[in-house]
Chains A and B, each alone.
Chain A
Amino acid sequence: MPYAHPEVLVETDWVKENIGKPGIRLVEVDVDLQAYEAGHIPGAAGFNWQKDLQDQLSRDIISRQAFEKLLGGAGISPKDTVVLYGDNNNWFAAYGFWLFKIYGHESVRLMNGGRQKWLNEQDKPFTTDKPSFPPVTYAAKASNEALRARLAEVMKISGKPNPNLVDVRSPDEYTGKIIAPPGMTETAQRAGHVPGAANVPWSSAVDKDGRFKSVEELSEIYLKKAGIDPKKPVIAYCRIGERSSHTWFVLKYLLGIDTAKNYDGSWTEYGNVVGAPIER
């Protein structure tokens, strides 16, 4: 059975064949630009998740104007098909995908398997050359808030029977054994999870080579085992909103749950809120 929206995924072979084709643009999205600068797919722009995709003053996604400036500066027009890929199994690329969709970019794809798969394939080249595309004027759409869950919405469903929440963090974070993985600076005042949330670690969605599992396997994991109801709105969260983008992508585009939202505030917001109910 095919994914609900198979067109949002492209394979590494497809990318190799389409490097440099007009109307197709590649963007590597990583937590920072260290790996991009060491080497990237020829023609790919590099977006820094921390600096380019986050507002540097307020804790928020970048504004519409900043998004227009970022894409226009990279020479990407609203009509281009943009293929995103990145490190950490495409977490940050999936966050980029979510952001591109928030600002209404029509044609966005994820490269299945991410940078790791490309790196492991002998016939796939990397370069250190930076692409040079002339800047364009990019007009974004108003932000589509339907893709984004806010604290108030999460508080409202918290603790209700079957809140249809997916906590994609590790079991130790979910059960409150730890607040954050060791060494992470973004933490919270309290450990645990939103009452009623199901725990499905992000990595449940991928195979060993980083590619997404089949729709049958994904249905089994999210719908059958975790009990997510595809007819009701579903919200994914993690610690800082990047791993949950990956699961949001799975729920919305591979399983076809159109109402899926990413709660980007995630545990570093919820776990700090005074009086928020917590389960361990």
Chain B
Amino acid sequence: MNHTTRVYNSIVEMLPDEANPSPMVRLNRLASTDGLPLYAKLEWMNPFGSVKDRAAFEMLRDLEERGALEGGKGIVEPTSGNTGISLAALGAALGHPVRAVVPERVPDEKKAILRILGAELDVVADALCPMPGQNGGGTINLAKTHVKARPDRYVMPNQYENQQNARAHFRTTGPEIWRQTEGKVTHLFVSLGTCGTVSGTSRFLKEKNPAIRVIAVQPSQGHDIPGLRNVSELEVSALYDPSLIDEIVEIPFEVAYARVLDLCRQEGLLAGPSSGLILEGALRAQKQGAAGLGVMIFPDGLFKYVEHIAKHIQGIAEMAQV
């Protein structure tokens, strides 16, 4: 493995850590470069295309070390797609079969990628009626059912409860940001899903400098941004620790899609909808006069959401029809 020449013996060696961080790129046209310059940490540059590469690897390594996958046992995991894709690709490289349980509303691109990667796929119909506090329950319950019925065949990492998820970010994302900003980071902007990213990264950075402000940006209720959760839906996320978050900003989810266009057209950053959401949160902080250095963790890229984005941006949809 050589990070300078970028020659590797295995795809697994490309996973990010302090010695091989995911890139950070400053915004130059969308945001002011004074006051609170904003840097986007491009998690889609990870080998399997999203921030979830970190948690997937940490959880898988832990299962391997504990011998939980011996006897050819496979993995079953509830996912909105990215964790499943990371696990399936890692499973392919390391020889573990993967079954992904996804909600129906997940973009078709992600379902197709999971199938291409050889994952078995359960698509769970969206709840017939919203059940308070049970969002995401369908996929989690089905994955748990597989494990309970066939413990000889399946192990469930369970990213919603697995401390290795947060640990991955304490071990990699936090130290990367600290080193990349030479300790100058003052604001961290993140989104909430399993809360592994925010909990692990925040814990590390606040140990280094308790004054760093951690701002979680969440979509409005009833949103359509795959992988994210509104705080009202966080009951399933055992990793959610409000003491590690200084502020929660709620953004109407449609704005996230508009910001995706801005990122593409004004910065050349091919970001996904959750990145658009985080950007809006950071821009608001900048407008309110925040000063220092802001880091936004952009969870994944554009290509898995082409149809979703087209659906939400009327202009794109019209262009597509021409």
Contacts and interface: CB of A to CB of B under 8 A. Distances in A.
Contacts of B133: 208
Contacts of A182: 222
B311 to A, nearest CB: 13
A181 B146 contact: no
11 contacts: A38-B149, A88-B129, A116-B141, A119-B141, A119-B148, A126-B148, A170-B129, A170-B130, A181-B130, A203-B131, A239-B129
Interface string A113-135: 00110010000011110000000
Interface in B104-163: 105, 122, 124-133, 137, 141-142, 144-146, 148-150
A32 B125 contact: yes
A34 interface: yes
Interface string B205-233: 00000000000000000100000000000
Interface of B: 105, 122, 124-133, 137, 141-142, 144-146, 148-150, 222
Contacts, number: 60
Interface of A: 31-32, 34-35, 38-40, 87-89, 91, 115-116, 119, 125-128, 169-170, 181-184, 203, 208, 239, 242-243
B149 A203 contact: no
B142 A38 contact: yes
Contacts of B122: 34, 38
B131 A88 contact: yes
A243 B144 CA distance: 25
Contacts of B131: 88-89, 203
A34 B142 contact: yes
Given A126-B149, A181-B128, A181-B130, 14 more contacts: A34-B122, A34-B142, A35-B145, A38-B122, A38-B145, A39-B146, A88-B127, A88-B129, A126-B148, A170-B129, A182-B222, A184-B129, A208-B133, A243-B129
A84 B128 CA distance: 20
Given A31-B128, A38-B122, A88-B131, A127 B149 contact: yes
User: What is the predominant secondary structure among interface residues of chain B facing chain A?
Assistant: loop
Contacts of B146: 38-39
A38 B142 CA distance: 7
A208 B130 CA distance: 15
A99 B319 CA distance: 51
B128 A128 contact: no
Contacts of A87: 141
**Which of A35, A89, A91, A243 is the most central at the interface, judged by chain B CB atoms within 10 Å of its CB?**
A35
Contacts of A181: 127-130
A255 B186 CA distance: 58
A31 B131 CA distance: 15
A162 B142 CA distance: 43
Nearest to B222: A182
A239 B130 CA distance: 13
A135 to B, nearest CB: 25
A248 B47 CA distance: 53
Contacts of B124: 34
Contact of B145 (A31, A39, A170, A183): A39
A183 B126 CA distance: 8
Contacts of A203: 131-132
Contacts of A170: 129-130
Contacts of B127: 88, 181
Nearest to A186: B128
Contact of B148 (A31, A125, A183, A243): A125
Contacts of B148: 39, 119, 125-126
Contacts of B129: 88, 169-170, 181, 184, 239, 243
A126 B144 CA distance: 10
B105 to A, nearest CB: 7
Contact of A88 (B105, B128, B142, B145): B128
A88 B222 CA distance: 19
